[in-house]
Structure 1
Amino acid sequence: MNTLRIREGGDRLVVELHRPDVRNAIDDEMVAELHEVCARLERDPRILILTGASAGEKGIFAAGADIRSLLGRGRDEALAGINSGLFTRIARLPMPVIAAVDGHAIGGGAELAYAADIRIASTRAVFGNPESALGILAAAGATWRLLELVGEPLAKEILFTGRRLTAEEALRVHLVASIHEPPDLLAAADALADRIAEQDPLAVRLTKRVLAAPRSAHPLVDDLAQAILFESDAKTERMSGFLNRPREST
C-alpha cells in the first residue's frame, strides 16, 4: 500500500496512516486503501489499532481530508459520502478499533478518531474541527459522534468556533481513555489490545454489536446475544475454568 503501513499480529492489525509529507491528510487513495483494510478485517475479525506516521519530530495522527481533494469535490461527491461511508465502515468492524492519537487529529482526522471504539492520546495530541472556517461542515461523523462523545454544549462550541482540545482537555471530557508520553503511546495501544484479546472474541464482538443497537432494540438484542453466548463452548470452558481455579489459601 502507498498511504498505509501495516503491522500484522495474530489478534490485531496495526495500521499507520503514512503520508507524513502532507501531515497524513486523507486523500482518495488512502480512503481506498482503508476500505481494503476493512474488507480484510470483515473476513478475518481482529482488533484494529489506527495511528499516524510522525512528521519529523512532531507527532501527527491526521490533519484532515486533503484540501486539494476537497477543493475539487462538488455536490455529487458530497452526496456520495466518501469519508463518512469509510468511517462508518470502520466503526462497524466486528472487533474493537483503537485510535492511538499522537499530535494533531484535525477535521477528517478527528472524525476518523471519533469512529474508533476507544481513543488514547499522547501528551501532544490535539483534536479539532475547523470545517466551518473553510466554508463546509464536519460531515463525516462529527455532528453526531462528537455530540454523543462529549455532549451537546462542547460539541457545538467545537463545531461552531473551531475550538481545539488538548490531550488533557480531551481526557477531562472523556473523549480519550488515557494519556501517554509519545514514545509510550503505541505500547499502551498494544497493552489495551492485549486486554481485549484476553476476553472471549465472540463475547467481545456481540458486546460491540449490542452497544451499537438503538435504545428501542433493548433488552431484546441483549437477550438474543446472551442466548447465543450461553450455548457457546467458550462460555462452558471459561466458566468451568473459573470455578476450578486454585483457591488462595487464607
Structure 2
Amino acid sequence: MTVRTQDAAQPWHTHTPLFTGSLLADAGALMAYTTGAEKLLADLPVKPERSPDQQQLAQEVTGEQRRVRSAFLRLHAERVYEELTGGLCEQRGLSELVFAAAEAFPGLTPTESQMAAERELAQADKDGREIDQGIFFHELLRAPQAGPHLLEAMLRPTARARSLAGEFARTGTLELGTVRLERTGRTAHLTLCNGRFLNAEDNRLVDDLETAVDLALLDEQVRVGVLRGGKMTHPRYQGRRVFCAGINLVDLHQGRISYVDFLLRRELGYIRKLIRGARVDDGWPRPLVEKPWVAAVDTFAIGGGMQLLFAVDHVVAAADSYLSLPAAQEGIVPGMANLRLTSLAGARLSRQVILSGRKLWAHEPETGLICDEIVDPNMMDAAVEAAATRLASPAVVANRHMINLAEEPPEHFRAYAAEFAMEQALRLYSPDVIDKVSRFSAGASVARRTGEPS
C-alpha cells in the first residue's frame, strides 16, 4: 500500500500481520492490526468532508483491512464458526452471528455501534462496512461444515413466527404490517400490502414475508400457499392489484436497505423456505415442513417480484402483465435469478433479461417458460383458486421435494450463495450503483406522482 496523505499511516502499515495458523495467535494479531487501522480512519473527517487525498487513504486502509480479514477467514472460517455456535450445537441467524463474531474476534466484522452509525448515512456517504460482513459470510458459506450448518439454521422459523403461530391457528388471519395473511379453507393467502411503494421490497417487507411464509408452513390446516399483490391506492393503479415493483430504490439511496437483513436474509431465508420448507426438529420422517406455492402476477413482477416466480410451483399471470429484472439499470445482482432463471428458461433468454434488461410481456411465447398460465385479468381469482386446488394433493409435496433436489442440489446452491454473498456486498457500494440510486432519488418524487415503478 502506498500512503499518500501522511507519514503517520506508515507505522500502522508496517505491522500487517502474517498469520501462523494458530487461531488464538492470529486473532490477537488481527485485533492489534485493525485497532491501528480503525484509529487512523477515526482521525479522518467523515466521508463527505474528506479531501481527495484523505479519501484515497481511507480506501487504501479499508482495502488492506479487507485483504487481511479474508486471509484470516481462509485459514480459520471453520474454527470461528465452531466458536460462535458452541461446536455447531447452536443455530444463529445472520445478524446475531455477524455481531457475535465482532465480539468474539475483535476487528473481524463491524460492531453493532459501527453499523448503527452507518445506518444514519445515505448510501453514498457510508464507508461500506457491509463489505466486511460480505467477506465474513462468503468464507463461512464456502466452508464445508460451516456453510451447510448455516444454511440449515436459516430454514428455522423465526421467533416472531413462533410467537404468532397460535394466534394464526386460532383465527386464520393476521395483519403483519406490509403483508396480510389469511387462511381460506386449506389455502394460505399471503397478500403484499406495501401499497405506498407499489409493493416494492424493503427491510420491513422481507421480515413480514418471512413471518408469513413460516406461519403458512407451520399451520397444519394449510396445504397450499398463494402469493399475490394487494390493490393499490395510487391514482395510476387505483383499485388494481400489483404484484411487486422490486427493491425500493429510494430506501437504497438513503441507506435503509440492509445487506444482512434484506439482501442476504431474503435469499437464505423466506425465498429458500418457499423451495425447501421450514425446519422443525421433531419432524418425522423429515425435519422439513414443505408445501406447494402459487404466485399470482397482476400488472407486473419487477426485480425481486420476478425472482419470487422462480421459487414457486405454479405461476398464474394476467394477460396484461409483464415481468422484468432491471439488474443492469440498478447495478446489483438480482438475487438467485442468475442461478434459477437459467435453469427455467435457458442461458440465452437469461442473458437477454438480466444483462440487457429485456421485459417479458405475458403474451410473448418466452413468458411461458416462467409462467404456467396466462389468463384474462377478470379470471385471475378463479385461475388462482383452481391452481391451489390442484396442488393440494398429498402426493404433490413428495414430488416437488424430489424435483427441487434435482433442479437445485444443496451443494450447488451453497456454492452460488457463497459467491453471491461477496459479489452483492461489493456491488452495493460500487460507484455506478451509488450514482444510479442517487439519480433515481432525485427523480423519485416525480415517479411517485406518476406511479412509475422502479
Structure 2 length-normalised TM: 0.44
* Selected match of 2:201 from 7, 10, 26: 26
User: Per the alignment, do residues 194 and 19 of structure 1 end up closer, same or farther by CA in structure 2, a change over 3 Å counting?
Assistant: same
Residue in 1 that maps onto 2:331: 135
CA distance in 1, matches of 2:244, 2:323: 10
User: Per the alignment, do residues 120 and 111 of structure 1 end up closer, same or farther by CA in structure 2, a change over 3 Å counting?
Assistant: same
Residue in 2 that maps onto 1:121: 317
Residue in 1 that maps onto 2:114: none
The residue matched to 1:95 in structure 2 has which SS? coil
Write the letter of the residue equivalent to 1:64. Answer: G
CA distance in 1, matches of 2:228, 2:373: 15
Structure 1 length-normalised TM: 0.77
Residue in 2 that maps onto 1:90: 274
Amino-acid identity (%): 28
CA distance in 1, matches of 2:298, 2:324: 13
The residue matched to 1:60 in structure 2 has which SS? coil
Quote the offset at 1:6 in angstroms. 2.4
Conservation of the 8 A alpha-carbon contact between 1:13 and 1:48 = yes
Q: How does 1:127-206 map to 2 (within 5 A)?
A: 127-138=323-334, 140-169=335-364, 173-197=368-392, 199=393, 201=394, 203-206=395-398
Quote the offset at 1:130 in angstroms. 0.5
Which 5+ residue runs of structure 2 have no aligned equivalent? 1-175, 233-237, 278-289, 410-454
Residue in 2 that maps onto 1:221: none
User: Per the alignment, do residues 80 and 60 of structure 1 end up closer, same or farther by CA in structure 2, a change over 3 Å counting?
Assistant: closer
Residue in 2 that maps onto 1:9: 184
Quote the offset at 1:76 in angstroms. 4.9
Conservation of the 8 A alpha-carbon contact between 2:275 and 2:404 = no
Deviations, residues 195-235 of structure 1 (Å, cap 9, x unaligned): 222x2x2x221111111113798xxxxxxxxxxxxxxxxxx
The residue matched to 2:243 in structure 1 has which SS? strand
User: Per the alignment, do residues 216 and 133 of structure 1 end up closer, same or farther by CA in structure 2, a change over 3 Å counting?
Assistant: closer
Residue in 1 that maps onto 2:37: none
Which 5+ residue runs of structure 1 have no aligned equivalent? 218-250
Higher share in helix? 2
CA distance in 2, matches of 1:8, 1:75: 31
Residue in 2 that maps onto 1:232: none
User: Per the alignment, do residues 65 and 216 of structure 1 end up closer, same or farther by CA in structure 2, a change over 3 Å counting?
Assistant: closer
CA distance in 1, matches of 2:303, 2:344: 16
CA distance in 1, matches of 2:247, 2:209: 14
User: Per the alignment, do residues 61 and 215 of structure 1 end up closer, same or farther by CA in structure 2, a change over 3 Å counting?
Assistant: closer
Higher share in strand? 1
Quote the offset at 1:171 in angstroms. 6.0
Quote the offset at 1:119 in angstroms. 0.8
User: Per the alignment, do residues 130 and 216 of structure 1 end up closer, same or farther by CA in structure 2, a change over 3 Å counting?
Assistant: closer
Write the letter of the residue equivalent to 1:49. Answer: V
User: Per the alignment, do residues 8 and 67 of structure 1 end up closer, same or farther by CA in structure 2, a change over 3 Å counting?
Assistant: same
User: Per the alignment, do residues 38 and 196 of structure 1 end up closer, same or farther by CA in structure 2, a change over 3 Å counting?
Assistant: same
Write the letter of the residue equivalent to 2:324. Answer: G
User: Per the alignment, do residues 16 and 118 of structure 1 end up closer, same or farther by CA in structure 2, a change over 3 Å counting?
Assistant: same
CA distance in 2, matches of 1:196, 1:37: 19
Conservation of the 8 A alpha-carbon contact between 1:171 and 1:178 = no
Quote the offset at 1:9 in angstroms. 2.0
* Selected match of 2:400 from 208, 212, 216: 208
The residue matched to 1:8 in structure 2 has which SS? strand
The residue matched to 2:291 in structure 1 has which SS? coil
Residue in 2 that maps onto 1:61: 243
CA distance in 1, matches of 2:326, 2:182: 32
CA distance in 2, matches of 1:12, 1:60: 20
Q: How many residues align?
A: 213
Quote the offset at 1:42 in angstroms. 2.8
CA distance in 2, matches of 1:215, 1:129: 21
Conservation of the 8 A alpha-carbon contact between 1:110 and 1:128 = yes
Conservation of the 8 A alpha-carbon contact between 2:296 and 2:317 = yes
Structure 1 runs (4+) deviating above 2 angstroms are: 68-71, 73-80, 170-174, 214-217
